[in-house]
Structure 1
């Protein structure tokens, strides 16, 4: 049986990479892609998702319009890394138009799809968690009908990439992240920021990956040029990825949903999100001392099989 996925994205470059990995996986059926603000405004995220589907000849997959702003927080974007349009500032004059976006709203589509496939659908969330927070408020039974939840977000060592102590997806909507970690009691896998940095891929592999002679590879090379240049800058390497290489954050969550035994080391621990701290708002709190008395524990990734990840990447551009 194929693994049924809903993918919730704010399509920047690493979301595009994650989507393409899922599209190429023979054991995966994507039931829908829901879009949220985040790396770029919602309209861009929708357009970017359609561009990815077009290059992969999969415009049959429904794309849904989700939340355009956080529940309470001020809006943030990541244009300095992903480009102002979220996809490397290499516009396509023949890109699909927003008329292809479904009329049904993202949250309603999530709920309906999961209700039609109870216990069978995994949700891969690579954006701020606003759509997921709204979904559980509309339907409190939604999480227990999911097979599993895979999140790229949060951090374990108070090492921020957006604020002093906060990772982008959680900082972009701390209240949503808090709600999701509090109310989603399905099996929950989290790819935190520091983990993705320490499991980055060598730049030499990246060259091999992008040099495949295909339309998909040409597309990926074009859209990722800006972010890769940024990622290879001495300042970014020193402060963010410790010089280890290419870090496609969102793809770790996707690979875990796709590939059995991808995780080789993890911690199972209760987590929450700090909402009030002057410097720590949006930071994920990891409760190793079990002071929170939470029954539900998340699986925090620590190490993964990078050879499996390389294979998924290579196949995504064939």
Structure 2
């Protein structure tokens, strides 16, 4: 059986690293390339983080492309230090001084377009960060979305619960205009793993301890980069996630990747039009679900609501038993 072709667009923080590792471990997935965008860290740090993840999994042959260093229109919000200033927990000391030589010269948006054009209607695009590269791609080539097989997005929110602002999720809040463009103009099948979806299908901290204490290179890497990060501490100060959903372990980006790898992980979803709010001091960047056809849009997306948590947990656990040769 032919492998599923995947392009990953990422702002590689710790949860992105886990999602990338999950894709690399999937036996029926071929990662054509990884495109980098600002978000959890500056785009140069993101590029280095992706190279590090590929190196840990012994998959350095996968091309990495540098993309946008800021949002489509407005000034960038400050990148948070949720995963440390470098996106991977500020624990990696042996930085590669020649990392830039390993990044492809082609811009991420152009690479996306080329890889999809070379494999029309075969590529699943998995977007794990702000959607700036995707918005640039559709501006450069308006026919780009219709050449995709499908699109999986980790981002947005469905209940008005925000994690960086009162009402908006991080990836959409970092570049609301790009999120708006993508959800208006990408008419391919689109699956959204929202912030609430991830949090409502969370795993336990006991599972997390078992996950990172496996005897394998990828698990040891994940244990290292989470070791000093408060986002991966059960004892950390209560944050918005804990207030809304209770204490739990959530590997956000892995939920979108799992849905792409194995659709049976998703057990319930809602199909409806959505729109990203661009105005206001409170709701800017919030994703609104139109369950009553108020917007009269012709295009709907699939908003994921429930998953098989046991199956998702198995995908996570198995993914950290790397490197595994293909």
User: Which bin holds the TM-score, normalised by the shorter protein?
Assistant: over 0.9
Alpha-carbon distance change, 241 to 255 in structure 1, aligned in 2, over 3 angstroms: farther
Instruction: Show the counterpart of 1:311.
Output: 314
Unaligned ranges ≥5, structure 2? 322-326
Q: Choose which of 217, 221, 226 in structure 1 pairs with 2:219.
A: 217
| Residue 122 of structure 2: aligned partner | 120
**Contact kept? 2:234, 2:247, Cα under 8 Å:** no
Question: Aligned residue for 2:248?
Answer: 245
1:263 is aligned to: 266
TM-score (norm 1): 0.96
Contact 1:151–1:191 under 8 Å retained in 2: yes
Q: What residue number does 1:49 align with?
A: 50
Q: Is the 2:6–2:125 Cα contact (8 Å) retained in structure 1?
A: yes
Q: Describe the SS at the equivalent of 2:52.
A: helix
Residues 92 and 25 from structure 1, CA distance in 2 versus in 1: closer, same or farther, beyond 3 angstroms? farther
Deviation of residue 235 (structure 1)?
1.0
Partner in structure 2 of residue 282 of structure 1: 285
Report the CA distance shift for 1:241/1:308 in structure 2 as closer, same or farther (over 3 A). Answer: farther
CA deviations on 1:194-229 (whole Å, 9 max, x unpaired) are 111111111111111111111211110011221444
The within-5 A match list for 1:167-206 is 167-206=169-208
1:240-293 deviation digits (Å, cap 9, x = unpaired): 562241111111100000013111011001001000122100000111111111
Once residues 231 and 13 of structure 1 are traced to their aligned partners in structure 2, the CA distance between those partners, rounded to angstroms, is 16
> 1: CA distance between counterparts of 2:166 and 2:149?
34
The total of aligned residue pairs comes to 318
Q: How many Å apart are 1:239 and its aligned residue?
A: 4.2
- Tell me the distance in 2 between the aligned counterparts of 1:178 and 1:246: 29
2:57 is the counterpart of 1:62 = no
Q: Structure 1, residues 129-181: CA drift from partner, whole Å, max 9, x if none?
A: 00000000000000000000000010011100011100000010000000000
In 2 relative to 1, CA 129–240 (structure 1 residues): closer, same or farther, beyond 3 Å?
Answer: farther
Q: Moved runs in structure 1, 4+ residues, more than 6 A?
A: none
Matched residue SS, 1:151? strand
- Give the C-alpha shift of residue 188 in structure 1: 0.3
* CA distance in 1 between partners of 2:92 and 2:237 (Å): 28
The TM-score with structure 2 as length reference comes to 0.94
CA distance in 1, matches of 2:234, 2:294: 38
Which runs of no fewer than 5 residues in structure 1 stay unpaired?
A: none
Farther-moved stretch of structure 1 (65-74 vs 173-182): 65-74
Task: Please state whether the residue corresponding to 1:74 is helix, strand or coil.
Answer: coil
User: How large is the RMSD of aligned CA atoms in angstroms?
Assistant: 1.4
Alignment CA distance shift 1:202-1:270 (3 Å): same
Distance 1:254 1:119 in 2: 19
Q: What is the CA–CA distance in structure 1 between the aligned matches of 2:242 and 2:128, rounded to whole Å?
A: 22
Question: Equivalent residue for 2:139?
Answer: 137
